[in-house]
Structure 1
Amino acid sequence: MATDFKQLMSDISKQVGTLHKDIPDTMGGFSSMSSGADKPGALDSKTKEFVALGIAIGQRCEPCIAFHTRSLIKLGCTKEEFEECLGTAIYMGGGPSLMYAAKAMDCWEQLSD
């Protein structure tokens, strides 16, 4: 069965909210790290999201794929750019990355409608 990425993101967000409440120091540290890493510098935000998506595919993290795909869509990523990123992830990760790139494509289709 295909993953419902919208539902997955909703479920994960709920649990992350619980973690923010229950372990605020850890989650605050993670949020600070995320903000620092995402801040545009020598690389723009879209390029950083491409890197994050490639790592998400390589690590086989469906929630990460969903959140970084959503970010890329919000940043104006085209389907062609997205697919080229998937191609690089497949090249670097072989067969397993191909399977998760297919999941990322499914996520793109669900979130960009």
Structure 2
Amino acid sequence: MTPSNTHTRNTHLSKESEQSQINKAQARYRREASDAAAAFMQFWRKTKEESTVPTKYKELMQLAIVLVQHCRPCINLHTQICVQVGCTRAEILDAANIALAMGGGPVFEYIGYLMQALDEFDPPKEAT
């Protein structure tokens, strides 16, 4: 295995491990602060429902926001959801450009995480 392949494999494993740790910690929070956690999750799910703003656009907005907020696990999650709801690579990159315009240099650093997620989830380049 070449060094770059080893690095890619280790990065992927460490990302999975990091997400697993986050998921376990969130589960503990849900048990220890169940009322607040349940209220938040109910609200969060409600915002995801189809409304005057189509789900696809809501996800693109959420992706831009998590880029500006520098939330690594959120970038991965919302990139995956964007692909699931039919966003193209071009649309996702356009949302990233808006985040970059609003957040500047720090967002530029986090776009690297977005590009990794795009490689992993492989959305279509353009609408078919």
- Asked which structure has the greater CA Rg, the reply is 2
1:75 aligns with one of 77, 80, 85: 85
Question: Are the counterparts in 2 of residues 90 and 98 from structure 1 also a CA contact under 8 Å?
Answer: yes
**Equivalence map 1:18-97=2 (5 Å):** 18-97=28-107
Aligned residues: 113
Q: Gapped runs of 5+ residues in structure 2?
A: 1-6, 124-128
Question: Are the counterparts in 2 of residues 49 and 71 from structure 1 also a CA contact under 8 Å?
Answer: yes
Q: CA deviation digits over 1:15-56, x for unaligned, max 9? A: 212221221101101101101211111111111111111111
Offset, 1:85: 1.0
Partner Cα separation in structure 1 for residue 76 and residue 44 of structure 2: 16
Offset, 1:14: 2.1
Q: Gapped runs of 5+ residues in structure 1?
A: none
Question: Are the counterparts in 2 of residues 6 and 111 from structure 1 also a CA contact under 8 Å?
Answer: no
**What residue identity is the alignment partner of 1:96?**
P
**Higher relative contact order at CA 8 Å, sep ≥6: structure 1 or structure 2?**
1
What's the C-alpha RMSD, in Å, of the aligned pairs?
A: 2.1
Identity of aligned residues (%): 27
Task: Provide the TM-score with structure 1 as the length reference.
Answer: 0.86
Any idea what SS the aligned residue of 1:66 has? helix
Partner Cα separation in structure 1 for residue 53 and residue 110 of structure 2: 25
Question: Are the counterparts in 1 of residues 60 and 95 from structure 2 also a CA contact under 8 Å?
Answer: yes
